[in-house]
Structure formats: structure tokens, C-alpha cells
Amino acid sequence: MTPTLRTERLLLEPYVSEDEEDFVALFQDTRVSRWMGDGPASEAADRALFGRIFTKVYARELFDVWAVRRDGLLVGHAEIKPTDVVAGHEIIYALAPAAWGFGLGTEVAEAIVAHGFDTLGLTEVYATVAAPNKASLALLDGIGFEHVRDITEDDGSTIRVLVRHLTASEP
């Protein structure tokens, strides 16, 4: 069961069915979806993705997926899950453009990483980021992620693989 996480200004909690419209709006915003997975998808595909969070991810307890809320409003999405790209767990996060520029991305990423170390017992956490996504690369660099390697996609684009290792100073 995906636990609820709290940061100074955010609440990360499991989605509820009433979040569908806000989830779809977040994923339909191309400023956000251009950096997610394979990029922008149809509204129908995003609705199907939202449904699979309940019927597959939560139902089978596959991995943790959160609605990110600030002052009760859905402002983002977060996950930590096993990835085929590396032999480990990857963090995924996205914030609505209205939430950009306030340090909220750092709060989300730090909360997910801490969950990976403290609750899941991981010793390293990965992130994969499109090379042009300078904001996300800077955020991850700022919280201790290091570049591991680059992956060249079929379309010629570059994905950066980053890792953060558990340190002795972390619980």
C-alpha cells in the first residue's frame, strides 16, 4: 500500500478516483508530458493510464505512486518503481507549470528518495532524464545525484541516467 508522505509544503498520497480530471490535465499539458515517458499521449491514453494506477499498480501493490498536493490541490505526480534501464529503482516526478520555480520539485524528489532509502531499504536510487531537461538535471544534481551514463534512444535523443547512493549520514 502506497504510504502518505509529507514535506514542508506538500502532501504525497495515493490517488483517489476524483483526481482523474486533474491527472489528465497534468499529463495533457505538453510542457509537462514532453519530459514524461514517450512524451505527450492522447487524452484517452492518459485516462487509461490513470485507470491502470488503480487496477494494476495499487491492486497488485507493484510500486508506489502518489498524487502530489499543495493546499489540497493536485499539483503533481510522483513514483518510485523498479526500472529495466538499471538494476534498481527509479524516481519519477512531474509538477504542473504553476508549481514550477518554488522549490517544490526538490521537496518531491527528496521525499521519494528518502522513502526509497528509509522504507524500501534501497542503497541507491536512480533517475532517467532527457538531456535537454536542464531544470530536472539541475534539481537532481542539487540533491546529490551523479551522472552514470547516457542512453541514445532510437530517435537519436539522449537520456541521462543518474544515481544517488545512500550515505552514512542518512538513516
38: pLDDT strictly greater than 90: no
Q: CA–CA separation, 16 vs 67, rounded Å? A: 8
pLDDT at 85: 81
- The 3-state DSSP class for residue 145 equals coil
Model pTM? 0.93
Average pLDDT over residues 137-162: 94
The pLDDT value given to residue 138: 96
Q: Is the confidence at residue 141, as pLDDT, over 60?
A: yes
- At residue 149, the pLDDT reads 95
Strands of 124-130's sheet in order across = 5-6, 11-13, 64-70, 73-83, 88-95, 124-130, 158-165, 146-152
Q: What is the mean pLDDT of residues 129-158?
A: 94
